[in-house]
């Protein structure tokens, strides 16, 4: 309840690109945030021409307009957490960081370092990688790289048996941010994600059995939005990581039996998740 006696939504702002096919980006974020019991607001960074097969083109939203969307939401509605997804250029990365600096009380910032789409198409300019690493990641609370993204950020290959160490070293290399390192790109039947809580200096391994499906479009967007949602609900980093892992695993499993599009279909965001 707030001062007027009215109920209060837990709010999550997604700063990301738009996917017209509905499986990734802003569209996946809104679905995930809603499914997890929070109120979704958005700031669209780019309009992406894509579908389940691949990305055809990217139309960046003017940077001043992106900054305006963020300010409009935060000055009026506020937020309990922020999820940051596709930021195409170094200039945009700096603009988002500078805009968020005016709201220092917002601690729950989850950054998905989106670099490549599920289809393999690039979504981040090479010149923006270092800016992301040195400007925006250090002001985030947690990042959610997959293995290829972690390898780019660390500048080295990461094997399955080195993931735990890589999560710790990536945290150190990026200003002490917590790291949720995803194993989905590995070929193992049992996938083990690693969450390094930089605040408690605790490493958590979370395993799940691989679901053999091509419906994996937007899994990174979905996981990071679930993390932000659970943080907005007041969970600790560890609790949020465990519940986000459970959410994405169930969403993938539930969506495996559907067919939509001719490529990588989406997960099922509305499988009635219940936090543990």
Catalytic positions: 182, 216, 218-221
CA–CA dist 143, 179 (Å, integer): 5
What is the DSSP secondary-structure string of 183-204? -TTS--SEEEEEEEETTTTEEE
Strand partners, 1: none
Residue 16 burial (CB count, 10 A): 29
CA–CA dist 30, 42 (Å, integer): 8
Burial grade of 182 (CB within 10 A; 0-12, 13-18, 19 or more): buried
């Amino acid at each position: 309840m707030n001062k007027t006696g009215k109920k209060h939504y837990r709010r999550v702002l997604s700063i990301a690109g738009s996917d017209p096919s509905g499986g990734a980006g802003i569209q996946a974020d809104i679905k995930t945030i809603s499914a997890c019991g929070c109120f979704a607001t958005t700031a669209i960074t780019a309009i992406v021409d894509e579908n389940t097969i691949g990305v055809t083109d990217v139309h960046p939203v003017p940077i001043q307009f992106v900054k305006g969307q963020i300010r409009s939401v935060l000055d009026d509605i506020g937020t309990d957490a922020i999820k940051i997804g596709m930021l195409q250029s170094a200039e945009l990365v700096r603009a988002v960081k500078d805009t968020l600096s005016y709201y220092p009380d917002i601690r729950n910032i989850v950054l998905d370092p989106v670099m490549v789409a599920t289809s393999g198409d690039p979504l981040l300019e090479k010149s923006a990688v270092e800016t992301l690493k040195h400007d925006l990641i250090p002001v985030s609370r947690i990042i959610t790289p997959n293995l290829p993204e972690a390898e780019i950020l660390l500048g080295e290959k990461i094997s399955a048996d080195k993931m735990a160490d890589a999560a710790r070293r990536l945290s150190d290399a990026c200003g002490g941010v917590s790291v949720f390192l995803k194993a989905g790109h590995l070929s193992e039947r049992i996938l083990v994600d690693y969450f390094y809580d930089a605040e408690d200096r605790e490493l958590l391994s979370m395993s799940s059995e691989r679901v053999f499906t091509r419906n994996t479009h937007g899994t990174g967007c979905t996981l990071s939005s679930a993390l932000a949602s659970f943080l907005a609900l007041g969970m600790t980093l560890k609790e949020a990581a465990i519940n986000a892992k459970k959410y994405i695993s169930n969403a993938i499993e539930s969506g495996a039996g559907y067919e939509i599009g001719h490529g990588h279909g989406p997960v099922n965001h509305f499988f009635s998740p219940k936090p543990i």
